[in-house]
Every structure is written in structure tokens, then in C-alpha cells.
Chains A and B, each alone.
Chain A
């Protein structure tokens, strides 16, 4: 049967020429497809479960537990969050502020250093390279970092404790340096210098505009890091007004646990209040609010991550 198919048709979906013979057999391909389908499903299904829980009625969760298809469909998790909108919007605001300001600041600091290190004739090149490399090998550890950032620099319970510590990473600086070294033509910089341009002008008017791919890569790395960060909040933030979405979720996860642990010692009224709010659905609704922007964005930005990872693997 196979041979009666018109050749034209077969060529459409299958590679031409030699490639068609030099590849795994059809059964092997089917087995591999099955394995990858299962692995992909394992990666995505937990998120779908959480989405389903967020749309379940509290009564149905209490009765039947978490399910992929809610027994009783309901928006009450989201309406509860809307009724607590002051808390949620403030957390969203903190998350957005930290992500935007942090990304801009981080990209600026990283590219500046990357550019300076990419200049071969710069006098302090060796010294600054050490400044960037040493932290990759040695660091002060959590305890002294905690005291330096929290107490000495006085960032405890300020939004800057969420921004500054994550702004620069030596890995990103090296990605930038490698990119500038390999893609920005030396002659371009030399000719600008001949015309009397300062280094700041060269950096901002010539180097940055032709380096958009690396800016996008670093920007995305930072953007995801800031949006996903909860650790800095755990360390430095006690003030409820400064909780980001991730930190808020973290608190809610632990608090409900604590409430469950203390259920025996708790007064009836507190228990009643707890019983009246759709805690399960609301909790998962927060997860959905956090994950939704990421899940929508990353498929489109994947290629910048990939290019960043590849550049990072090439040492400069």
C-alpha cells in the first residue's frame, strides 16, 4: 500500500533524500513519542489540577477532595479573592513593582559591567574581571549576607531588599561580555571614538541598540527571577504590607497548616470563620494568578532563554 501513495504527497511531511533513511524506525519513533507524551503530561497535569481546584465549590472539595473535573463548578475562590481585593491588589502591586524596577535596574547594571569588561584595552579590565569572578567561587553565606543586607544596609522590611540582592549575577555579566565581544564590531566603536563620542554615548547609542537579543535574554532571566522570588521576602520581610504574591501564597500555605495543627486548641468562632471562607479554592486561585502570566508568556520567550543558555555555555 505504501508504494502506491503518490510520491508528491509523501514528500510534504517527510524530509527529502537521505535523512529519510538515516533515522529511527517507525515503531521506535512511536515508542519515543509515547514516552515524551507521558513526560510532557506529567509536567503539565499538576497545573491543570490546580486550575480545576480553583474553580471548584468549597462544599464539593470538602465532600470529594481535589478532582480534575470539579463536581460543583464555582467561582467562589475568585470572588473571595475579589472581596479581599485590597490585600491581593497590594501584593500584585508589590510583585509588579519589584519585577519591573528590578529588571530595569538589573539589565542596566549587568550590561554596563559586561560592556566595560568587553573592552580589551581597558586598564582595570583584569581587576574588574576578578571582582566578577570571585563571587562565582566564594560567597559570604546566608548568615553574614542576612546581616549585611538586612541590618548594615538597613534594607530589612523595605521593598529594596527584594530588588537589590537579585539585580546582578556574574553569570549574566559574563553572558553580556561574551555577546559584546563577539557581535559588536571593534571598528564600529573605534570609528565612533574617532568622531569624539564618549564611552557613555558609544554604550547607549551604539552598543545597546544593536544588542537587543542579549538585552531580551538578560531581561527575561531577571523578569522570571523577580516574579518567582519568595526567598528574599522570607528572609527580609515581616511587614504584611510588603508581601509579594509569592510571599503571600507562601504565608497562606503555612498559615492554613498552622491552623490545622492548632485546630484542637482553637475557639469555635475562629474555626467557624475559617470554615466559612472558601480557603481551598482561594488558595489555588492565588496559584493560578501567579502561574497564568508565566504560562502564557514563556512559550513565546523560550528562544531567548535558549540563546542565553547557549551563550552562557561559551566562555569568553
Chain B
């Protein structure tokens, strides 16, 4: 049916409707051209020795082509491998915990006897999602500051030494994982809870009458019916495995030099290089990120398409 309709639309001549709809779509299309597609073409500055000569187009045209030189510089530095490792490692942990914890929380909160309490917990846990990373950075500072922080205050009152938390690399990977969960669990829970509440109640009644325990009901009814949304979230996150939440890695550790090796991800690296005017390296790193990101998202989608056509995004 759908393909027949499409064929009909193709055979039809261009009409008044098409002109009017094109005009309606024009402003947004221009927005897409300027803010999405122009940067896509601009990406080739990774192959140039970008120098500022007046405007962007002029600088772009006058800059020398240097082939893969920017990439040679980038990959000969030790940093880049460390940074790619950090980006991938954090994302793998985030993807796994970012699915397991909210799914478990969503299932568990649905089991609570009091729906009012469940709603209250959900509202409270959703709050961090609405805070910006700058605000979160201030909240974390209130706990971890050396001389005034709550944690050091408590340590001291228990007779222990104050700690320079912003200079202790070892605690940051687990702490950033915690902060990522802290900010994201409420959101994830809401997404999964929407799926759970959409499940037909009679399944559970039938299972209960047949003597299934709550565990069995979760295992054989809830989880299978959540499969599609879980896979969707999984692909979206795997597709973004070369991207990281700039705010989390830049704002929360407060750009502390001692944490460099443990908290720098590609996004932070590109930003720092850009701000220190090493444009070539920044452009090369951004190029790697965009291309690798594009490949991962298409691959993830293709795999899901093979396994379960219905769950594929594109």
C-alpha cells in the first residue's frame, strides 16, 4: 500500500500544494543548510593548514592544502590514544550501566504498592536531568572543595585528614560514572516506565493465575516486551560511542591538570585544542570523531536491522 501511494505521488505533477509546502519548509531547510550542512563541508579544513585571513571563506580558500599532515601530527602524539581509550572506556561503562540501572529501577518502581510514593520518588529522581553541568559542577564543589567541602568537613570531624579530591586521579573514573548515572537515571527510568505502563495488564493477571512468581513475570513478560525500546536506546548510544558529554568531563572535574589522563575525552580535547589555536590538530581530531561516529551509528543500525527489522532506527 505504502509503496503504491509513493508511486502515485511521483507520477503526479507538481501542484499548488507542493509550492505552498515548499515555502513552509523553506525557513527550516535554510536553517539545516547553514547550521548542519555548511559545517559538513567545512570539515575538509582538517586537510588544510587553516590560517585566519579575514572571513571564514577567504581564510578557507587561502589556507594551504597539507594532505594528511594534521592527522600525522595528531596520531604521533601520545595523548590521542589515551583520549580515544578514555572516550571508549567511559562510554562502554555508561552504555551498560545506563541500560541496566534505569531498566531495573523502572521495573522495581512499578512494583511499589503505593503509586503516590512511586510518583514522588520518580519526580525527585528526575530532577538532576534538568540541571545544567555548570550547576552540577557547583553542587559537586560544595561536597569536594578542599577547605570548605562537606566531605572534608566530615572526614575531619571523624579525625581523618583532609583530601585534595580534585588532584586524586584514581577516584575520578568511578566518580564520573556515578555522576553520569546520577544525572541520567531519572530520565532513563521515565523512558522505560512509559513502555512498562503500556503493557497489557491482563498478561500479568493470566500469568499470576497460572502461578507465575513476580520474578517469572518480569523475566517472561516485562523484559521481552521491553526488548525493542532497550535495543533502540542501545543503538543510539553505541552510535555515539566516539562522542562524550562535554559538560560532564569538562565542568565536573573543573579542568584540573592532575586529572588530565583520566578525564580527557575527545570532545574536551577538541575544545582545548581549538581554544589554544592549534586548529589543525583540533580539526583532525574532530574529523576522526565525526567519521568514526558516522561509521559506528550506521554499523549499529545495520546489525540491529539484521537481527530485528522493527527495531532499526533508519
Which A residues have a C-beta under 8 Å from some C-beta of B? 13-14, 18, 21-24, 26, 28-29, 32-33, 35-37, 39-44, 46-47, 49-50, 53, 61-62, 64-68, 108-110, 112-113, 115-117, 119-125, 128, 131-135, 137-149, 151-153, 164-165, 167-168, 173, 193, 198-200, 203, 224, 228-231, 246, 249-250, 253-254, 257, 280, 283-284, 287, 290-291, 294-295, 298-299, 302, 305-306, 309-310, 313, 315
Residues on A with C-beta less than 8 A from B8 are 121
* Known A50-B139, A228-B131, A246-B134; contact A140-B28, beta-carbon cutoff 8 A: no
Q: What are some 15 contacts across the A-B interface (CB < 8 A)?
A: A14-B113, A18-B205, A24-B113, A36-B125, A40-B121, A47-B127, A67-B150, A121-B5, A122-B9, A131-B37, A139-B36, A152-B57, A199-B21, A254-B254, A280-B148
**Are the CB atoms of B246 and A140 closer together than 8 Å?**
no
Interface stretch among B77-85, B91-99, B167-175, B289-297? B289-297
Residue of B whose beta carbon sits closest to that of A227 = B132
CB distance from B108 to the nearest CB of A (A): 5
CB distance from B197 to the nearest CB of A (A): 10
Contact count band on B: 35 or more
Task: Kindly identify, within residues 121 to 149 of chain B, every residue whose CB is under 8 Å from any CB belonging to chain A.
Answer: 121, 123-128, 130-135, 137-143, 145, 147-149
**Are the CB atoms of B112 and A231 closer together than 8 Å?**
no
Docked Cα-Cα span, A117 to B21, in Å, equals: 9
**Are the CB atoms of B9 and A24 closer together than 8 Å?**
no
CB distance from B155 to the nearest CB of A (A): 11
Task: Flag whether B105 is at the interface (Cβ < 8 A).
Answer: yes
Docked Cα-Cα span, A131 to B30, in Å, equals: 10
Which B residues have a C-beta under 8 Å from some C-beta of A? 5, 8-9, 12, 14, 17-18, 20-25, 27-29, 31-32, 34-43, 45-46, 55-57, 59, 105, 108-109, 111-114, 117-118, 120-121, 123-128, 130-135, 137-143, 145, 147-150, 152-153, 182, 185-187, 190-191, 194-195, 204-205, 208-209, 214, 217, 229, 232, 239, 246-247, 251, 254-255, 267, 270-271, 274, 279, 282-283, 286-287, 289-290, 293-294, 297-298, 313-314
**Are the CB atoms of B148 and A112 closer together than 8 Å?**
no
Docked Cα-Cα span, A13 to B115, in Å, equals: 10
Docked Cα-Cα span, A35 to B142, in Å, equals: 25
Chain B contact residues: over half helix, strand or loop, or mixed? helix
Residues on A with C-beta less than 8 A from B185 are 39
CB distance from A224 to the nearest CB of B (A): 6
Residue of B whose beta carbon sits closest to that of A313 = B229
**Are the CB atoms of B138 and A313 closer together than 8 Å?**
no
Docked Cα-Cα span, A274 to B281, in Å, equals: 39
**Are the CB atoms of B24 and A23 closer together than 8 Å?**
no
Residues on A with C-beta less than 8 A from B37 are 131, 134-135
**Are the CB atoms of B271 and A142 closer together than 8 Å?**
yes
Docked Cα-Cα span, A57 to B123, in Å, equals: 32
Residues on B with C-beta less than 8 A from A165 are 35
Residue of A whose beta carbon sits closest to that of B229 = A313
* Known A36-B121, A139-B36, A141-B286; contact A291-B135, beta-carbon cutoff 8 A: yes
CB distance from B47 to the nearest CB of A (A): 12
Among A18, A133, A147, A284, chain B packs the most CB atoms within 10 A around the CB of: A147
Which of B5, B141, B182, B274 is within 8 Å of A43, CB to CB? B182
* Known A148-B42, A230-B134; contact A140-B21, beta-carbon cutoff 8 A: no
